[in-house]
A and B are shown apart, each in its own frame.
Chain A
Amino acid sequence: MATSSTIDPMLPQPYLVREVSKETPDTFTLRLDPGNEARESVFRPGQFSMLWVFGVGELPISISGDPALRDRLIYTVRSVGQATHSLVNQKVGSGVGVRGPFGIGWPVEAARGRDVIVVAGGIGLAPLRPVIYQVLQNRKDYGRLVILYGGRSPRDLLYRKELAKWARIPETQVLITVDYGGIGWRGHVGVVTTLFKYSRLHPARSVAMVCGPEIMMRFVIRELETAGLSRDDIYLSMERNMKCAVGFCGHCQYGPHFICKDGPVFPYERMRPLLEKYEL
């Protein structure tokens, strides 16, 4: 991945698919590495890559792996259309072009000393997983870590083993809910906003990082504001469609902001008008 400023951000770097693992019926995690080349993959939580799938095209995908592991790039991809379908069906050993990392990520460094509230819906946990890794690796630099995660049904939940592991770590609260629970499910049933009443938040010392469908984020923001968080302490990832990823093409421009280079993570205060619009 482009660690040096001499690499053209428009030029995809060759990577190899090393592992494809199934998370849910339609979501897969891919591990890529640069093969024999000695290239380090450096990124910050919340940044994304433009993945070039040969014969299909290019698409933005958040990096979902551990930023401390620089020999690889991890992506969690939900198959929703042609490009994502092709990506999750890549064979081990096949090549994928990678541009990036791009964008401004989550304020993990700025959150040192504070409680971190991660609120994720569906595939939205993928871009937030690097935040969780970083906070847990530097545990004493942060206050409480609260992870609220909502999915459609138990079989649609990502990273279940890791979630269970994180829940056992001191000062870490993990609450999971599903919209539809079968009779065998012993966890919470209800939308992600219903978890707030169990979450013991300390609003004045908390930073919230939220990712999921926009409508879910709007409802979550309402809960966070009711809990007493200031708008400046609420961050969202805006994953609206984009093309060039470097602020040239204007495809993802909104007013003065380019989602690709000024985001995808924004403080809620700046994104408020956008959340009320149907289209960019």
Chain B
Amino acid sequence: METLERIIGEHPFFAGLDAGFLNLMVSCASNVRFTPGTYILKEGEAANTFYLVREGKVALELLAPPHKPIIVSTIGIGEILGWSWLMEPYVWKFSARAVDAVRAIALDGRCLRTKCEQNHDLGYEVLKRFAGIVEQRLDATRLQLLDVYAVRR
């Protein structure tokens, strides 16, 4: 059985964190599972958690009434789901649905937010890591917006 310490300690997202900070992360972490089709988080609800996906695929959906929701991207094994817990007003801007059986580690954002406020060194390390993810997603979104496969006339 893999321990939370090991999984978090070996995950690239947490690479370079010193042992004290890693322990803090572990103290905010728990194992979670979602069956296919269930919502992990919902647009408009309070954002107090983020997830490290260990198995399965998660679809990020935007509600687009009167049409069906649109999947804007998917998050897979090894990836981080959710950063709204870190930025005010701490509300999800999209919904996340388990496409297949999802196993993840949930990190308590409320607990981590408090610790980041108390210790800005930790806060900077966390923010730096999330900024990297935001940058990657922004790059991908820009390319997606270009609609490169459309016929140019």
Residue positions of A touching B, CB distance < 8 A: 26, 78, 80, 121-122, 151-152, 156, 177, 179-183, 185-191, 193-194, 197-198, 212-213, 215-216, 219
Contacts and interface: CB of A to CB of B under 8 A. Distances in A.
Contacts of B79: 197
B100 interface: yes
Nearest to A26: B151
A190 B140 contact: yes
Interface string B104-133: 000000000000000000000000000000
A177 B57 CA distance: 13
A189 B151 contact: no
A212 B99 CA distance: 28
Given A181-B59, A181-B71, A185-B71, A156 B149 contact: yes
Contact of A191 (B61, B71, B100, B140): B140
Which residue of A152, A179, A186 has the most chain B CB atoms within 10 A of its CB atom?
A179
Interface of B: 57, 59-61, 68-74, 76-79, 99-100, 139-140, 143-144, 146-151
A102 B76 CA distance: 41
B74 A182 contact: no
B69 to A, nearest CB: 6
A90 B70 CA distance: 37
B149 A179 contact: yes
A236 B150 CA distance: 20
Contact of B73 (A182, A189, A197, A216): A189
A48 B139 CA distance: 33
Contacts of B151: 26, 78, 80
Ranked 4 nearest A-B pairs via Cβ: A122-B149, A181-B71, A152-B149, A213-B148
Which residue of B144, B149, B150, B151 has the most chain A CB atoms within 10 A of its CB atom?
B149
B69 A216 contact: no
Contacts of A215: 143, 146, 148
B79 to A, nearest CB: 7
A189 B143 contact: no
Given A187-B74, A197-B79, 6 more contacts: A156-B149, A183-B68, A185-B71, A190-B74, A212-B148, A215-B143
A182 B71 contact: yes
A179 B149 CA distance: 9
A68 to B, nearest CB: 30
B84 to A, nearest CB: 19
Given A80-B151, A194-B140, A219-B143, A189 B76 contact: no
Nearest to A184: B68
A209 to B, nearest CB: 18
A193 B140 contact: yes
A198 B149 contact: no
Contacts of B60: 189
Nearest to A156: B149
A78 to B, nearest CB: 8
Which residue of A78, A122, A186, A191 has the most chain B CB atoms within 10 A of its CB atom?
A191
A187 B73 CA distance: 10
15 contacts: A121-B149, A122-B148, A152-B149, A179-B144, A180-B71, A183-B71, A185-B71, A186-B99, A188-B76, A189-B73, A190-B73, A194-B73, A216-B143, A216-B148, A219-B139
A190 B144 contact: yes
Contacts of A191: 140, 143-144
B95 to A, nearest CB: 11
Nearest to B78: A197
A122 B78 CA distance: 27
Nearest to A84: B151
Nearest to B136: A194
Which residue of A80, A188, A215 has the most chain B CB atoms within 10 A of its CB atom?
A188
A137 B72 CA distance: 37
